[in-house]
Amino acid sequence: MERLQKVIANSGYCSRRKAEELILKGQVEVNGEVVKELGKKVDKNDLIMVQKKPILNKEEKEYYLLYKPEKTISSVKDEKGRKTVVDLVPTNKRIYPVGRLDYDTTGLLLLTNDGELTNILTHPSKQIEKIYKAKVKGIVTNEELKKLKNGVVIDNRLTIPTYVKIKKCNYETENTTIYLGIIEGRNHIVKKIMTSIGHPVIELKRETLAFLNLEGLKKGEVRKLTIKEVKKLYSLK
């Protein structure tokens, strides 16, 4: 832990005295909160903004949004030699996925080297919504849709989706495309929910995480998060 003004000065943004002036003027933020006292201490995981510009404390933090394709492991490396999500991100930093998507599940996945933000996004108490689009076997009936909205018991626990909507029923191929909103992070939770009402998942895609979506990206493509997006993610804590 180091004093905030020292970290700002070490970054090359300005002198320590100038950093102290900026702090007293309320022009410095740490993790989205304005700091006006000189005794504040920070560590390498803190997001520091000076006059709305990011200060990189020690190890530079990187934040990526990936449109994960099929047949990709949500891990840093794989003992079987399969492609991992880290292989798709153009960086030399040691980054890792925030949470995971199954091998054949596609969609939005964040990768970073920011441990504090990872904790914010994965901690059960945060209840951050994720929207999934699932193609399932069979035609989901109105009665089954109502059952989903009221909640189903998964692993001896009542699970209630935050959002449920049928997009399409294909009577020729006998399958349904449905949207589900989930705040839980349990493994295979969407697959378990749909199996519980007799409709196993054929294809699964994560469409959104909090306010983030896949707009402008194709499968396998990645982009950096903006500073504004990072700050907004930090505000979820």
pLDDT at 58: 57
115 lies in the same domain as 186: no
Sign of the dihedral defined by the CA atoms of residues 21, 55, 110, 207, in that order: positive
* Structural domain boundaries, residue 151: 129-209
Rounded-to-integer distance, Cα 169 and Cα 155, Å: 28
Are residues 182 and 129 in contact, defined by beta-carbon separation less than 8 angstroms? yes
- Distance, in Å, from the CA atom of 68 to the CA atom of 104, rounded to the nearest integer, reads 9
Same domain, 181 and 228: no
Structure tokens belonging to residue 181? 């909103």
For 182: left if phi > 0, alpha if psi spans -120 to 50, otherwise beta; the answer is beta
Final residue in a domain of this structure, among 39, 55, 71: 55
- Asked if residue 28 and residue 78 are part of one domain, the reply reads no
Which ranges of the chain have pLDDT less than 70? Answer: 10-12, 14-15, 56-59, 237
Domain check: are 164 and 134 in the same one? yes
Q: What is the CATH number of the domain that holds 30?
A: 3.10.290.10
Instruction: State whether 120 and 179 are in the same domain.
Output: no
Residue 213: CB atoms within 10 A of its CB come to: 15
Residues 121 and 222 reside in one and the same domain = yes
- CATH code of 224's domain: 3.30.70.580
Rounded CA separation 190/186 (Å): 9
Question: Are residues 107 and 150 both part of a single domain?
Answer: no
pLDDT at 8: 84
Confidence (pTM)? 0.75
**78 and 187 both lie in a single domain:** no
Q: Select from 38, 55, 72 the last residue of a domain.
A: 55
Number of domains in the chain: 3
Domain co-membership, 81 together with 136: no
Q: What is the CATH number of the domain that holds 193?
A: 3.30.70.1560
Domain shared by 48 and 73, yes or no: no
Catalytic residue list: 102
Is residue 144 domain-shared with residue 194, that is, in the same domain?
yes
User: Which pLDDT does position 95 carry in this prediction?
Assistant: 87
Residue carrying the six token digits 């469409």 = 207
Same domain, 145 and 199: yes
3-state secondary structure the chain: CEEHHHHHHHCCCCCHHHHHHHHHCCCEEECCEECCCCCCEECCCCCEEECCEEECCCCCCCEEEEEECCCCECCCCCCCCCCEHHHHCCCCCCCEECCCCCCCCEEEEEEECCHHHHHHHHCHHHCCCEEEEEEEECCCCHHHHHHHHHCEEECCEEECCCEEEEEEEECCCCEEEEEEEECCCCCCHHHHHHHHCCCCEEEEEEEEECCEECCCCCCCCEEECCHHHHHHHHCCC
Judge whether 22 and 14 are in contact, CB under 8 Å: yes
